[in-house]
Amino acid sequence: DAGITQSPRHKVTETGTPVTLRCHQTENHRYMYWYRQDPGHGLRLIHYSYGVKDTDKGEVSDGYSVSRSKTEDFLLTLESATSSQTSVYFCAISEELRPYEQYFGPGTRLTVT
Amino acid sequence: QKEVEQNSGPLSVPEGAIASLNCTYSDRGSQSFFWYRQYSGKSPELIMSIYSNGDKEDGRFTAQLNKASQYVSLLIRDSQPSDSATYLCAVIEERRGGSNYKLTFGKGTLLTVNP
C-alpha cells in the first residue's frame, strides 16, 4: 500500500458523534486525497490536499472537514456522523513529479448506527 | 458534471482468453487515463496509465486510448483466475496553471475468470 496507513481500519459509531479518520504516509508525497466508496456510486472524492495547510473540496464534501498540519498526516473529520456517511473511506497519495498517479491506502470501514 | 462510464458486468471469460474492458468519458479535455484493479475487500491498485492516443502494453495488459471517440479500454491477455476483480477506469481533471489533480472514477466492471 505504498507506505500508507489508515486508522482505525474499522469503526462503528452512533449518529451525532464526531469521528476522525487518520491517513499517515511515509513517502513524503505532496498530494493527499480522501475518497469514499459506496455500492452504486463508486469512488468519490471528498477532500484533497496539495500541501501542508492547503486543502480543497471534492465532489462530496458536505459534512466533512479535513486538516493537514504535517506532510505525512491527513485527517478527515465527520463533525456529527449520519447514517448516510456509512461507507468505506480510502486515503490516496501522489507525488509532485507524477501527480496523476494516485496510490491508495488500505481503507477504513465506517458504520454509523 | 464530468462522467466516466463503464459496463458494470459481470464480465465472465474462460481462463486463457482475452478480457476486454471498456470505458467512455464525457470531458473532451481530459488528458490522462488510468486503470485500477480492486480485489474484493481491498483497496484500488494502479495497474495502467495512458496519456496519448494508441496502445500501451505492460506484460499481459494493454491499454488503448482513442480521444476522438472519448474511449479507453483495457485488454487482459491470457486471463488468469487471479485477474478476477473489479476494474476501475479513472480520468484526471487537470487545472491549467494549478497544482490539483482530481480523479473521476467509473463505477467499475467486475471481471470473473473461470478456470
Q: Do A100 and B32 touch (CB under 8 A)?
A: yes
Contacts of B88 in chain A (CB under 8 A): 42-43
Residue among A11, A14, A17, A22 nearest A80 (CA)? A17
A31 shares contact with chain B (CB less than 8 Å): yes
Q: Which of A101, A105, A107 sits opposite B49 (nearest CB)?
A: A101
Report the percent of chain A where pLDDT is more than 90: 87
The predicted structure's pLDDT at residue B98: 54
Sign of the dihedral defined by the CA atoms of residues A94, A100, A105, A110, in that order: positive
User: Cis (ω within 30 of 0) for the bond into A99?
Assistant: no
pLDDT of residue B89: 96
For residue range A69-98, list pLDDT tens digits in order: 999 999 999 999 999 999 999 999 999 888
* Residue A109, φ and ψ in degrees, nearest 5: -95, 115
pLDDT of B94 reads 64
Q: Give, for all 115 residues of chain B, the pLDDT tens digit.
A: 678 999 888 999 999 999 999 999 998 888 889 999 999 999 999 999 999 999 999 999 999 999 999 999 999 999 999 999 999 999 987 655 555 678 899 999 999 999 9
Longest CA–CA separation in chain A, Å: 42
pLDDT at A65: 97
* Residue the block writes with cell 484526471: B92
Cβ–Cβ of A106/B103 closer than 8 Å? no
- Which chain B residue has its CA at the smallest distance from A97's CA? B99
Task: Work out the minimum CA distance from A57 to partner chain B, whole angstroms.
Answer: 10
Q: Which residues of A touch B100 (CB under 8 A)?
A: 31, 48, 50, 56
pLDDT at site B102 = 81
Contacts of B99 in chain A (CB under 8 A): 50, 99
CA distance A99 to chain B (A): 7
What DSSP state is assigned to residue A1?
-
- B85 interfaces chain A, CB cutoff of 8 Å: no
Rounded Cα distance between A110 and B9, Å, is 27
Q: Are B9 and B20 in contact (CB under 8 A)?
A: no
**Any A CB within 8 A of B108 CB:** yes
Helix, strand, coil % in chain A, rounded to nearest 5: 5, 60, 40
pLDDT digits (tens, 9 = 90+) for A37-56: 998 888 999 999 999 999 99
